[in-house]
Amino acid sequence: MTKLRGYLDKNPQQTKRLLGMEYEQLIELIQAAELLEQEKRQELDKGTLRFIIRASGLTVDEFISLL
């Protein structure tokens, strides 16, 4: 959390003066941006093959042979 966000969380009445929008609008904007970022990350991860070798106890060769 940035210093500005921390300040605005404690003093939501100052949001309009500092950013030109209501505190509720700021929170909605932040939530929408976080959701969009999550969706984009999921879209990128669809084409990504993840290797979780240490957790499985397999060597790289064993893991690849299972593919």
**Which tens digits make up the pLDDT trace of 5-45?**
889 999 999 999 999 999 999 999 999 999 999 998 888 87
Q: By residue range, what is the domain housing residue 54?
A: 2-65
Question: How many CB atoms neighbour CB 15 within 10 A?
Answer: 20
The CA distance from 18 to 6, in Å, is 13
Nearby residues of 26 by Cβ (< 8 Å), 6 or more positions away: 8, 15, 19
pLDDT at 42: 86
pLDDT at 14: 95
Q: Structure pTM? A: 0.64
Q: What is the count of structural domains for the chain?
A: 1
pLDDT at 22: 95
pLDDT tens-place string over residues 42-62: 888 777 766 665 556 666 666
User: Which residue reads 């893991």 in tokens?
Assistant: 63
